[in-house]
Amino acid sequence: MRDRLIHLHRIRSLNPDEDHLAIYQTMLRYEFPWDMKLGLNLAFNRSFSIPEIAAVHTATGELTERTQQRIDDTGLLMYEIVLNGFEQTRGRDALRRINQIHRSHRISNDHYRYVLACLIVVPTRWLERYGWRQPCCHERRATWRFYLELGRRMGITDIPDSYEAVEAWFDEYDQVQLRPNDDAATIERATRMLMLNRLPVALAPLGNALVSAIYDPPLRAATRVATPPWPARVGLHLALRARAYTQRWLGRPPAIPLFADGITTKTYPSGYDISQLGPHPTAQAGDTPTPNANE
């Protein structure tokens, strides 16, 4: 058990404001690699489901017609920033590309804040429920601090001033804005196929029920997903809790961190150019980005 907590001891010795990148990297690469990746996927799924945001994505067709590539592009850009930070070349290139992609769309500051809040809150709540241990206060603050920095560099304003404040804002905004809509349902059907394709063959008959069970009721309602049968919900919950228990008492820290050999995806088996990730939209006359990106 002592070895299992070696990274937690190190995290608690750091300053979450000054060392937020190192802490967040440790969470993703050593402590909770599978859970963090799934939590970030769920965060993006939720942010795509706000009616106005969903309408932008269905209008471009990027998530519905080029689903695998766009999901891969989104993950690559985010992971490049996490792995390299905001000052190293690859991190700066990824941030610049993110700002370029969003520059031609009219997106409100509140919607940008909501996406940030999803990335902060949704993975943290997943860890609270299914992680092999609870995230500590340093990890919550470092997560908030990392995305605060990302938001500032994207020109997003009025970001709440702590993890707790972001969480409260997220719940209030989510309750009002996450409404049932056809665009979100269309995106969910496209992205669901990617999740189903990752399931073991033995679980294929239960695939749709298990994917639906991962969603919480508000997300299912927004994407018009039927509530799965209770055995699927209870069975998934028990399996995830059993996994957490086993990892806590029998698991060990990974000897090789996540992405030690680089980030690989189905879309780019031979590598990728950061400047070419994502769509290449043409700005419409009179369009101005909201908020203004400063990278």
Per-residue pLDDT of the chain (295 residues), as tens digits, is 568 999 999 999 999 999 999 999 999 999 999 999 999 999 999 999 999 999 999 999 989 999 999 999 999 999 999 999 999 999 999 999 999 998 877 889 999 999 999 999 999 999 999 999 999 999 999 999 999 999 999 999 999 999 999 999 999 999 999 999 999 999 999 999 888 887 777 788 899 999 999 999 999 999 999 999 999 999 999 999 999 999 999 999 999 999 999 999 999 999 999 999 998 754 333 333 344 444 4
Tokens 């750091």 correspond to 14
Residue 213 lies in a domain: yes
Residue 274 lies in a domain: no
Task: Work out how many domains the chain is built from and give that number.
Answer: 1
Residue 46 lies in a domain: yes
- The SS3 assignment for 106 reads strand
Residue 109 lies in a domain: yes
Predicted confidence at residue 2, as pLDDT, reads 62
Measured from the Cβ of residue 64, the count of other Cβ atoms closer than 10 Å reads 17
Residue 290 lies in a domain: no
Query: Using an 8 Å Cβ cutoff, are 197 and 240 in contact?
Result: no
| Prediction pTM value | 0.92
Query: Using an 8 Å Cβ cutoff, are 287 and 106 in contact?
Result: yes
- The SS3 assignment for 129 reads helix
Residue 96 lies in a domain: yes
What backbone phi and psi angles, to 5 degrees, belong to 269?
Answer: -65, -20
